[in-house]
Chain A
Amino acid sequence: MTATTTRPARRARKADAAQTARKANASGSPGSRKRHSLILSLLMTVMLLYALLPLFWLVVNSSKTPGALFSTFGLWFGGPFALWSNIHQVLTYDNGIFVRWLANTLLYVVVGAGGATFLATLAGYGLAKYDFPGRRGVFAVVLGAVAVPGTALAVPTFLLFSHLHLANTPWSVILPSLVSPFGLYLIWVYAQDAVPAELLEAARIDGASEMRTFFQISLRLLTPGVVTVLLFTVVATWNNYFLPLIMLSTPQWYPLTVGLNDWDQQSFTAGGQAIYNLVITGSLLTVIPIMIAFLVMQRYWRSGLAAGSVKM
């Protein structure tokens, strides 16, 4: 039984690999053995510097003492090297509230982005591979919602949730994060080509239940699409600001983004202590995990993105 279900899967994967290989060989433009252009490299290096210079600034200034922040040139190291003491201060300031914010952010990302990806994958796959009554209606409603911007929903969602006494709870951040119409759309596009109908038929003949087919066969074929959606939703929830800002009033539930902004605002409020070095080092600590996740995931996701952007 297993032989019949895995063989088509392997074949499909092999075909997929062949396709990517062909695309890689074609390498976009005519004449794959062209000479490298120096001007092009220079222009792209300007873009590269634009992209990386602010991040370099962040690293440099995380290593400075509050005094050196003001007295030394911003784009180079200066004064005593204070990175470790800055990090120590960030983690211990105000009874270690930063660590609490980090834990909150992880909770929102794991449950929110993980849940959103799971729900979008199930539903996108269901729409692509099953015919059921009301399918067209579901599809039309969800596609219409792709253009509804999340930021436009923040205020209405807050008004509804505070009416339901859900505001200022972790649920008020997690529940709205679970909805990803764009993720559903990407999976729908991807599933159409990635999961052959004959394969599902073969699994059915073998007596596998629909759920089992999904988890054991289809999900594996959908991986690039799923990782793409996961990357989008993880970045969106890790970086989410407007929604938690509007929903949460107790610092105990803040994610990192709202907490950092709170620290930054301290210097502008009367009697507030300016803690620029903590804002900067805290920003660095906020950026590092998401960048690692980003660099790890981006390896898998190009084909998924291509499918989504080209067919829309």
Chain B
Amino acid sequence: MADLPLGARPLGAARSARPAPTRPARRRRRWTGWGFVAPFLVVFAFGLIAPIGYAVYLSLFREQLIGGNSFVALENYRQALTDPQFWASVRRVALFLVLQVPVMLILALLAALALDSARLRWAPFYRLAIFLPYAVPAVVASLMWGFVYGSQFGLVARLSSALHVGLPDPLSGSWVLASIGNVVTWEFVGYNMLIFYAALRSVPGDLYEAAEIDGAGPARIARSIKLPALRPAMVVAVVFSIIGSLQLFNEPNILHWLAPDTIPPNFTPNMYAYNLSFSGQEYNYSATIAVVMGVLTMLAAGGVQWYGRRRMA
């Protein structure tokens, strides 16, 4: 970038007393970028690389009755692969991913198309209000919905008895995953809507005019212009939703207190890793679970990105 002739940089020349001004100017130029990047890289190394490295290191050891802490190579990973508790949690978040993410993204997409259609009155107000729950902490969202779901002064139970309809208990075994899905959808539908909306807005207006002149109807415009424009945003939204689902923790961990039977400590992989660390003091195995889930998440997210890029090419 910025490949201007070297003579156009008198600043470096003025600073340097050397006879050949181009060399030092160039070197100054080349290394200044590091000054901007270095502070970030220091915290990046300490806050991100080091924990990952340490988790991988821990996952190769095990606290044993005889011999204390010893190197066990991939023994912890073998244990994880055959751990029914772990796989139950993985299956649960996979089910969550398959059910909750499409519902949330389709709702977000429809809302974004409505905002962009120019046929909605007070569109900016709707946009802001639907986006607002994104700012609510997951803790508060879960507490609020928990009060709505819960048996003591739950709105659902009260409505159920007032209307004489047998609404199911939202925290019972067959409904609890859907109830958590509702909390997550409530928090993030507006956020995804905004991602889609931003993508739709980036379409130049001339394109629509040209399509209209060519006789394209609204359906054709949606299919040929809007959907292709949405594809990169869709990839972003799906990637973030996959990460959010596989790494689910906050909402079930808070609702766990209301429904300890239907939300067990291994409800999600993250809850399992957390409880292994805290209740079980099994740090090595906990680190192993975290590493396995990190790899699974990156594979899933990377797969979607790769697929999206291939489709776009």
A130-B33, A159-B277, A200-B2 known; A309+B236 contact, CB < 8 A: yes
B278 to A: closest C-beta gap in Å: 8
Cα-based distance from A291 to B52 in the complex (angstroms): 33
| B233 near A152: Cβ-Cβ < 8 Å | no
A114 to B: closest C-beta gap in Å: 13
A51-B132, A148-B294, A178-B47 known; A30+B198 contact, CB < 8 A: no
Residues of B within 8 A of A210 (CB): 32, 35
Cα-based distance from A208 to B85 in the complex (angstroms): 61
Beta-carbon nearest neighbor of B58 in chain A: A159
Cα-based distance from A120 to B150 in the complex (angstroms): 42
Beta-carbon nearest neighbor of B212 in chain A: A30
CB of B78 within 8 Å of the partner chain: no
| B257 near A265: Cβ-Cβ < 8 Å | yes
A129-B1, A152-B293 known; A246+B48 contact, CB < 8 A: no
| B140 near A119: Cβ-Cβ < 8 Å | no
Residues of B near any A CB (own CB < 8 A): 1-2, 4, 8-11, 14, 29-37, 39-41, 43-44, 46-48, 50-52, 54-55, 58, 107, 110-111, 114, 116-121, 126, 128-141, 143-145, 147-148, 152-153, 155, 158, 186, 189-190, 194-195, 198-206, 208-209, 211-212, 218, 221, 232-233, 235-236, 239, 243-244, 246-247, 249-250, 253-254, 257, 270, 273-274, 277-278, 283, 286-287, 289-291, 293-294, 297-298, 301-302, 305
Cα-based distance from A280 to B137 in the complex (angstroms): 13
Q: Which DSSP category, helix, strand, loop or mixed, fits chain A's interface?
A: helix
A23-B205, A70-B152, A122-B37 known; A149+B135 contact, CB < 8 A: no
Residues of A within 8 A of B253 (CB): 242, 245
| B117 near A40: Cβ-Cβ < 8 Å | yes
Among A5-13, A87-95, A233-241, the stretch that binds chain B is A233-241
Beyond A127-B33, A291-B136, 5 additional contacts (C-beta under 8 Å) are A48-B126, A51-B130, A142-B44, A210-B32, A312-B236
CB of A15 within 8 Å of the partner chain: no
| A145 near B8: Cβ-Cβ < 8 Å | no
Q: How large is the interface on A (under 10, 10 to 19, 20 to 34, 35 or more residues)?
A: 35 or more
A132 to B: closest C-beta gap in Å: 3
| A290 near B43: Cβ-Cβ < 8 Å | no
B60 to A: closest C-beta gap in Å: 13
Residues of A within 8 A of B289 (CB): 155
CB of A151 within 8 Å of the partner chain: yes
From A23, A197, A264, A286, B254 is in contact (CB under 8 Å) with: A264
A47 to B: closest C-beta gap in Å: 6
